[in-house]
Structure 1
Amino acid sequence: MATAAITSFATGLASASLSGARPLRRHVSFSTIAPLGGVSLNRAQSLRISNNVSVKATGEEASTELPEIVTKLQDTWDKVEDKYAVATLGAVGIIVLWSATGMISAIDRLPVVPGVLELVGIGYTAWFVYSNLVFKPDREALVDKIKSTYSEIIGTS
């Protein structure tokens, strides 16, 4: 096995000058490398030898099995008929999400608006709870409306 002795040492900071401390100097020395066979080579020859090394693996092949979610995504992507439209919609969705995040952060930096919007949200939540959740007939109507909307979206089979 070829070995190389690398030594490094730093000198400096013994005396400070007006411009500050002297920079650290490093000295690296390579000893001769003796590969198998006992023939002594210099550094350039040993680097050439190490560049020509090839490795062969033996035994069982490593299986590169993809996670289940990746295979499901690939199967779903293969089933898509109009890949251009789906990719465009995905890109537009990312752009819209990015711009909405920027807009919300800009609104949040305004001095009065976040407090006002918080009060509006609390007021709407109170109104929704009072009009849809407090009394039993209203709750039943809300559940029926949610079920009908769900069946319209998903469809009945």
Structure 2
Amino acid sequence: MTQANFSDEAQTVTEVVTVDLVPDQPGVMTTVTTAETPTSQFQDIKDQALKILSELPTYVSNFFGDYQKPLITIGLILAGGISIKVMLGVLGALNDVPLVAPVFELIGMGYTGWFVYRYLLKASNRQELLTEIDSLKEQVVGKDS
């Protein structure tokens, strides 16, 4: 068994060479096998992992830069879905508490009565409501002219 060390500027390679000799025929070699030592394989894997980990921030920033709008859209959709799910859970829990559901119904009916009285009974009040809706629409969408 012969062991050879090869050194390069940045890396050391250790190789194990196994030679089997045939005893019946002098000078004839049958098998030559070379195998890297487990430490050099481990070093290669470690170097590759360190290279990937050192370049990870660059990969992530490039990915986020390329796909920023779709990622934000997906995030907003997920956040909206989660908030709706939480809100429904809270309302379901409040609905199980005695007297809370009837109180909410009374509050809703009272607000509806006030809204009808305040904005829908008279034509002048309806015009005021339309003006408020138009101003809100201009603030959200912008002016058409």
TM-score by length of 2: 0.50
Which aligned runs of 4 or more in structure 1 are off by greater than 4 angstroms?
Answer: none
Q: Is residue 82 of structure 2 the alignment partner of residue 116 of structure 1?
A: no
Return the letter of the residue paired with 2:110. G
Return the letter of the residue paired with 2:89. G
Q: How big is the shift at 1:81?
A: 5.5
Return the letter of the residue paired with 1:94. G
TM-align CA RMSD: 1.5
CA distance in 2, matches of 1:87, 1:126: 40
Aligned residues: 78
CA distance in 2, matches of 1:81, 1:141: 42
Q: Which residue of 2 aligns with 1:83?
A: 70
Q: Is residue 111 of structure 2 the alignment partner of residue 107 of structure 1?
A: no
* Structure 2: segments with no counterpart, 5+ residues: 1-66
CA distance in 1, matches of 2:112, 2:97: 23
CA distance in 2, matches of 1:100, 1:81: 28
Return the letter of the residue paired with 2:70. K
Return the letter of the residue paired with 2:71. Y
Q: Which residue of 2 aligns with 1:5?
A: none
Return the letter of the residue paired with 1:112. L
Q: Is residue 136 of structure 2 the alignment partner of residue 141 of structure 1?
A: no
Return the letter of the residue paired with 1:137. S
Which gives a bigger RCO, structure 1 or 2 (Cα 8 Å, sep 6+)? 1
* Structure 1: segments with no counterpart, 5+ residues: 1-79
Query: Where do residues 47-62 of structure 1 align in structure 2 (5 Å cutoff)?
Result: none
Return the letter of the residue paired with 1:153. V
Of structures 1 and 2, the larger Rg is shown by: 2
Return the letter of the residue paired with 2:139. E
Structure with a larger share of its residues in helix:
2
Structure with a larger share of its residues in strand:
2
Q: How big is the shift at 1:93?
A: 0.8
Return the letter of the residue paired with 1:133. L
- 1:19-49 per-residue CA deviation (whole Å, 9 max, x = no partner) reads xxxxxxxxxxxxxxxxxxxxxxxxxxxxxxx
